[in-house]
Amino acid sequence: MNSPVDGLSVALPSKGALYEATMSLLKNCGLPPKSKGERSYESSIKTLPGSRILYQRATEIPAKVNEGTVDVGITGLDLVTELGWGTRTEDRRLSNLSVVLEDLGYGSADLVLAVPNEWIDITSIGDLADLALQWRSEGHTMRIATKFLYLTSDFLDRRGINHFMLIPSEGATEITPKLGLADLISDNMTTGSTLAANNLRPLSPAIFRSQACLVVNRDIAPHKLEQLQTFIDLIESHLRAQSYYLVVANIDGTLRPQGVEPTEWVYRQLATTTTRGMTLSEAYGSHTPGNASLPDGSLGNRLSVVVPDRELYATVQRIRKMQGRDMAVFPMKYFFETEALGYARFIASLPPTAKALNPAV
């Protein structure tokens, strides 16, 4: 069942750190939500006519998308996986949901097992397994408080720890060992300060590493696919651009061997870097000091190249060796591929019956 609105319907976190970061992301992607009233739980996206935003608790968004109340949602990957996405077929409760973009670049957290500091002999999951066996022989069951029943149980089962009891937690999980309601906890950790304040420390490895993700209902109405593609492509291309810079420079061709084309020569000089989108054109301009022209009156060639952030300085040095000058480096807002990759993956994941409903798919 899909939303009756004409445009795309999107569920966003209604408060907290996820809300603030999501608003910032959409604004930077050219998808700014219209301002909502203090008590309003609805809005729209200016650049998607007829669209509707519903502000929901992050915990509720996966189910809302799965049931088709909304078409798209942004929430935590841990919340989606906890409800069965991407797990064993018999455990899936989100059969109508696809995770299209797994990492939106914020909302990072590790789901960890945390034990009281007094448990000085328990420093790893292996130690915890030994303790569970010891307690079992003594007739005691290890109690673990958590909001993530599936993820915690699956993690422990895969490590041979099967004698434990999960205590569902709806409030402040960190306090349950102090209250005698649990022996240890399984909860999300960002900095670890909350655990430390409650006399707890995490065990390694983490149960699950999470971040904000984008999910889509697999039964989305065909007439909404164009807006869906726009929504996904703008976000994905903006996130991709954060890892690249655009470098523009003038290249003095006097060092180029005779008979070698300028493009081939520059390409050879940059071949050891993973540059993309290289363009070389003739550059003409005023003959200012330091910009001596070549015999034909040109200023050599103008180079434009997209460079991964990790290779920016190495690329600058190679351009210098070509007597490059007037180098300018620009951050990028978008970096589009030849197609909307995230959208294409989503369409490819749909069953043939869904594709048959829409000739454009």
Domains of the chain, residue spans: 9-108+211-241+339-356, 109-208, 244-331
Q: Which CATH architecture has domain 244-331?
A: 2-Layer Sandwich (3.30)
Positive or negative, the Cα torsion across 327, 329, 330, 332? positive
The tokens for 25 are: 């992301």
- Mean pLDDT on 70-78: 97
* Residue 235: Cβ within 10 Å count: 24
Enumerate the β-bridge partners of residue 94.
none
**CA-closest candidate to residue 263, choices 285, 246, 282, 244:** 282
Give yes or no on whether 9-108+211-241+339-356 and 109-208 have one common fold. yes
Phi, psi (deg, nearest 5) at residue 274:
-95, 55
Inform me whether the pLDDT recorded for 249 exceeds 80.
yes
Inform me whether the pLDDT recorded for 235 exceeds 90.
yes
Position 260 scores a pLDDT of 85
Inform me whether the pLDDT recorded for 343 exceeds 70.
yes
Q: Please state whether the peptide bond connecting residue 13 to the residue before it is cis, i.e. omega within 30 degrees of 0.
A: no
How does pLDDT run across 23-55, given as a tens digit for each residue?
A: 999 999 999 998 766 556 889 998 999 999 999
Question: How buried is residue 143: exposed, middle or buried, by Cβ count under 10 Å (0-12/13-18/19+)?
Answer: middle
Position 3 scores a pLDDT of 44
3-state secondary structure (DSSP) of residue 114: strand
Report how far residue 31's alpha carbon sits from residue 149's, in angstroms, rounded to the nearest whole number. 35
Position 102 scores a pLDDT of 96
Least confidently predicted of 120-124, 213-217, 274-278, 312-316: 274-278
Position 288 scores a pLDDT of 47
pTM for the structure as a whole: 0.86
Of 256 and 133, the structure prediction assigns the larger pLDDT to 133
Inform me whether the pLDDT recorded for 225 exceeds 90.
yes
Position 56 scores a pLDDT of 95
Inform me whether the pLDDT recorded for 1 exceeds 50.
no
CATH tag, 9-108+211-241+339-356: 3.40.190.10
The pLDDT confidence band at residue 87, using thresholds 50, 70 and 90, is low
The pLDDT confidence band at residue 286, using thresholds 50, 70 and 90, is very low
Cα torsion through 72, 54, 93, 185, rounded to 10? 110
Report how far residue 145's alpha carbon sits from residue 152's, in angstroms, rounded to the nearest whole number. 10
> Three-state SS across 231-259?
HHHHHHHHHHHCCEEEEEEEECHHHCCCC
Report how far residue 52's alpha carbon sits from residue 55's, in angstroms, rounded to the nearest whole number. 10
Inform me whether the pLDDT recorded for 65 exceeds 60.
yes
Of 162 and 273, the structure prediction assigns the larger pLDDT to 162
Mean pLDDT, the chain, as a whole number? 88
**CA-closest candidate to residue 12, choices 316, 144, 345, 51:** 51
Helix (H) or strand (E) holding 278: strand 276-282
**DSSP letters for 50-89:** T-EEEEE-TTTHHHHHHHTSSSEEEEEHHHHHHTTTTS-G
CATH 3.40.190.10 fits 109-208, yes or no: yes
Inform me whether the pLDDT recorded for 146 exceeds 50.
yes
Least confidently predicted of 15-29, 113-127, 135-149, 339-353: 339-353
